[in-house]
Structure 1
Amino acid sequence: MSDQKRPVVIIVGAGFGGLSAARALASAEVDIVLVDQRNHHIFQPLLYQVATASLSPADIAGPVRSILSSQPNVTVVLGTVTGIDSATRSVSIDNGVRSGAIAYDYLILATGARHAYFGNDHWEPYAPGLKTIEDATSIRRRLLWAFERAEMATDIAERDANLTIVIVGGGPTGVELAGSIIELARAALAKDFRRIDPRKARVLLVEAGPRILPSFTPELSEAAKQSLEKLGVSVRVDARVMNCDAEGVVIGEERVPAATILWAAGVQASPAAGWLGAAADRAGRVLVGPDFSVPGHEGVFAIGDTASLTDAAGQLVPGVAPAAKQAGRYVGDLITRRLSGFPQQAPFRYRNYGNLATIGRYAAVADFGWIRLRGALAWWLWGIAHIFFLIDFRNRVAVTLGWLWSFLTFKRGARLITGMLRTPGK
């Protein structure tokens, strides 16, 4: 950091919003302290491909220090935020070795979200969600180990339970998981076992609402449902999960024996609102002003999944990567303008460049507002867009080569069972 006293901007979180804010402040006369619990940034839209053995973790992640190495006004601090003191304008941080507080002039909270179980947190050991690399590798372990247990099973019921995968939640993550898992079972693993036929695996997608992909048009939602069913996924809508345990799930009044349950049904914001004592919505997101400022907390902003904002156009800003990146750039530019004495920016307005979701090989849906696509063209657009938005050139090359190899051979190159399995989650 500079020896000359300059305003200090603390950014908590190295996700899409946090990194965008840091980069927007690259030319500002400030010292930036970027705090995160992990030393890497992950491209969350492709986490499901790590979970289903299509990609390795390093393909979609990059070290934060390396990403920002060419930006001299950034210092990266690895640690966990334990609290915020608005009176002294400081952030308390603990990294397991030492703890302390860092004073700030501006604070940007981009702490993301975790999966929500709607008051049933005791389900988490049995139905893990997908937000981090650790989540993805844990799910990959559960999936692959389920096939191994099925191969060793001597009881038909036990074998069938191990070959049953239930995904709770019909949003983009749930749909993409379902399509990728059924292709894993019916193509990549098809010839790997001797006592079982992985192609007989049952993948069940459960959605409490009337249709999957509710953020898409009804026509595209129905097209996605038909594509999943054509692949072999059983899709249930208007179906509520009543319980999850080590033996399976209860859907309505029906018990479904399943060794693998995956949760993609909802998110809960980080405890940032609690740190500040700020107002929050039902998902725990901080209620912010039109410029992402936190009311009653001078110089404090919340962005991405941490914030709840209805923008200048009257639309609720969604918790997706493009929105977080736009918010990060907006707040970074806002701070730069303030320090330079320029007029205040106009209130934030989210620009929706389109929604994309993939179902399987040559199957995807795309909604750009002015045009809606399905099938092979949407699938190619989905792939190109995701490669383009990866964090650096190495990741783009690795993902492109990995996808090309999988496309040509129908194989998955990351089918590794790593770590220990522990009950009750298995």
Structure 2
Amino acid sequence: MENGTEPTKRPHVVIVGAGFGGLACAQALGNTAIDVTVIDRRNHNLFQPLLYQVATAALSPADISEPIRRTLGRYDNIHVVMAEVVSVDAHARAVMLKDGGSIHFDRLVLATGSTYNYFGHDDWQQHAPGLKSIHEARDIRHRLLLAFERAERSSDEAEKRRLLTSVVIGGGPTGVEMAGAISELGRFMIAQDFRKLHADQLTVLLVEAGPRILSTFPEPLSQYASEYLAGIGVDIRLNTPVEDITAEGVQVDGTFLPASCIVWGAGVKASPAAEWLGIEPAAGGRLPVAPDLSVVDKPGIYALGDTALAVGEDGKPMPALAQVAKQQGTFLGRALKASLLSGKPIPTFHFHNRGNTAVIGRNAAIFDFGSWQLKGRIAWLLWALVHVYLLVNFEKRLLVSIQWIWRYSTRQRGARVIDEKAVSAVLPEAAAEDRTTT
């Protein structure tokens, strides 16, 4: 030790979650005199807005996911830990892990995202998976593709129609995108690949408890989406809450709808970060945060994205969108760097709205920029450009762009592969049937 002095201890920032917000925050802190630890229970970053394309065989999982270590490997000061957080000791400044370990921090950033909310019916999840992980997207894809294979072999007209019926629950962007993609996939496969099936046997139901789909968008855009979906064969049921879900179908408004594939997109709730901190969560289970994104009454702890209930300048909660999380992450990373290295106070976060969007189908999307709106083919092209730009690196952008161009030109879907080991897990009755006929 030179001159008998202790070496200066570098500040340590722990980031829990490597989604849009967590990665942006880590990258803003990269290659600085700050030690950064990124913790995630997965080893990969996932571009969730395109998971529906994995579920409907347009893209493969590797197209929209990237190992976290690869993304952050160029930053010498960032350490990646694959582990699951179970609690936070705010007093001891430590994150507690499921395997019994702990990691101490000087500053903590919670960017743990959200999960689907089944509104007290968690047993429905096994029959109606959502779209928050690669596993769920592949599960849905297997259900869809296996149902078509079984329908081709079935001689029972009622069973064939059940197998060719899909129900999407929730009329938000995820539900709308999924319903449109299922309808387009099904009609293409029936026309090109299956000899014993007909388009009029295919049914795609979009079930929404409210009075209209895409309720966060202006009424004209919602109406455009409804008309487009109806034009490609999607049956929209409004003011229709779900009463029950089983392996055989969905109970709505006193009527049972037989179906083989059910997709949940009816609502989300934040991760259990509030429970970790022992505080009362705000609406949607989110953590209440101050204008500088610090968790209220928890000094040195911050929250981003779907985990945080941040209020905008209009007094309304900021939406759970990728652009919000990414902007918050970049802002907080830069602010923490200035605070820890130069002693500067963390300023107020200001969100710059770059528009809200949803894709409806081929050549059809909507954009809401607040003061003006866009719909149709131009909106669809803009949606594609935005989503390609948001992918994690150039390689993914190039691969997805090439596949989209090929898919648009040929209408082919290249990811229609069924994992034989998934047959018994997804449709056990199908596996049993196959064993008795071979």
Question: Matches of 1:230 and 1:309 in 2, distance apart?
Answer: 38
Question: Matches of 1:4 and 1:99 in 2, distance apart?
Answer: 29
Instruction: State the AA in 2 paired with 1:407.
Output: Y
Name the counterpart of 1:107: 108
Name the counterpart of 1:33: 37
- 1:68 and 2:68 matched: no
Name the counterpart of 2:264: 263
- 1:228 and 2:232 matched: no
Question: Matches of 1:411 and 1:196 in 2, distance apart?
Answer: 18
Instruction: State the AA in 1 paired with 2:268.
Output: V
Name the counterpart of 1:164: 165
> Identity over aligned residues, as a percent?
47
SS of alignment partner, residue 283 of structure 1: helix
1:277-316 paired onto structure 2 within 5 Å:
277-316=278-317
Name the counterpart of 1:144: 145
How many pairs are equivalent? Answer: 421
Q: Deviations 1:26-54 (Å, cap 9, x if unpaired)?
A: 25421000000111111111110000000
Name the counterpart of 2:250: 249
Question: Matches of 1:88 and 1:345 in 2, distance apart?
Answer: 23
Name the counterpart of 1:77: 81
SS of alignment partner, residue 191 of structure 2: coil
In the TM superposition, what is the alpha-carbon distance from 1:179 to its structure 2 partner? 0.8
Name the counterpart of 2:4: none
Q: Deviations 1:190-249 (Å, cap 9, x if unpaired)?
A: 221222235631101011111111111000000010010111111111111111111111
Q: Deviations 1:328-373 (Å, cap 9, x if unpaired)?
A: 1122122122113354343222221101111111111111123311
Question: Matches of 1:295 and 1:355 in 2, distance apart?
Answer: 28
Q: Deviations 1:155-195 (Å, cap 9, x if unpaired)?
A: 11111100000000011111011111111011244221222
Instruction: State the AA in 2 paired with 1:61.
Output: S
Distance of aligned partners of 1:115 and 1:422 in 2 relative to their CA distance in 1, 3 Å threshold: farther
In the TM superposition, what is the alpha-carbon distance from 1:281 to its structure 2 partner? 1.9
Instruction: State the AA in 2 paired with 1:76.
Output: V
Name the counterpart of 1:209: 210
Name the counterpart of 2:21: 17
Question: Matches of 1:376 and 1:261 in 2, distance apart?
Answer: 29
- 1:187 and 2:185 matched: no
CA contact (8 A) 1:12 1:18 kept: yes
Give the TM-score taking structure 2 as reference length.
0.93
Q: Deviations 1:296-326 (Å, cap 9, x if unpaired)?
A: 3221111111111213342211111000011
Question: Matches of 1:249 and 1:421 in 2, distance apart?
Answer: 22
Distance of aligned partners of 1:12 and 1:371 in 2 relative to their CA distance in 1, 3 Å threshold: same
CA contact (8 A) 1:127 1:425 kept: no
Instruction: State the AA in 1 paired with 2:25.
Output: A
Question: Matches of 1:425 and 1:205 in 2, distance apart?
Answer: 22
In the TM superposition, what is the alpha-carbon distance from 1:154 to its structure 2 partner? 2.5
Instruction: State the AA in 1 paired with 2:156.
Output: D
Instruction: State the AA in 2 paired with 1:288.
Output: V
SS of alignment partner, residue 69 of structure 2: helix
CA contact (8 A) 1:147 1:198 kept: no
Question: Matches of 1:424 and 1:403 in 2, distance apart?
Answer: 28
In the TM superposition, what is the alpha-carbon distance from 1:69 to its structure 2 partner? 1.2
Name the counterpart of 1:420: 422
CA contact (8 A) 2:31 2:76 kept: no
Uncovered stretches (5+) of structure 2, i.e. residues with no partner: 1-6, 429-438
CA contact (8 A) 1:312 1:348 kept: no
Name the counterpart of 1:409: 410
CA contact (8 A) 1:11 1:35 kept: yes
Question: Matches of 2:281 and 2:155 in 1, distance apart?
Answer: 52
Name the counterpart of 1:5: 9
Name the counterpart of 2:59: 55
Instruction: State the AA in 2 paired with 1:73.
Output: N
Instruction: State the AA in 2 paired with 1:7.
Output: P
Name the counterpart of 1:366: 367
- 1:90 and 2:94 matched: yes
| Structure showing the higher helix proportion among its residues | 2
Uncovered stretches (5+) of structure 1, i.e. residues with no partner: none
CA contact (8 A) 1:126 1:424 kept: no
In the TM superposition, what is the alpha-carbon distance from 1:425 to its structure 2 partner? 7.0
Name the counterpart of 1:319: 320
CA contact (8 A) 1:363 1:379 kept: yes
Question: Matches of 1:4 and 1:340 in 2, distance apart?
Answer: 12
Instruction: State the AA in 2 paired with 1:252.
Output: D
Question: Matches of 2:360 and 2:297 in 1, distance apart?
Answer: 44
Instruction: State the AA in 1 paired with 2:326.
Output: K
In the TM superposition, what is the alpha-carbon distance from 1:388 to its structure 2 partner? 1.4
CA contact (8 A) 1:312 1:347 kept: no
Name the counterpart of 2:274: 273
Question: Matches of 2:231 and 2:199 in 1, distance apart?
Answer: 17
Question: Matches of 2:427 and 2:245 in 1, distance apart?
Answer: 10
Choose 326-335 or 271-280, whichever is displaced more: 326-335
Question: Matches of 1:181 and 1:383 in 2, distance apart?
Answer: 19
In the TM superposition, what is the alpha-carbon distance from 1:422 to its structure 2 partner? 4.8
Choose 30-39 or 349-358, whichever is displaced more: 349-358
CA contact (8 A) 2:38 2:78 kept: yes
Choose 373-382 or 198-207, whichever is displaced more: 198-207
1:382-393 paired onto structure 2 within 5 Å:
382-393=383-394
1:128-139 paired onto structure 2 within 5 Å:
128-139=129-140
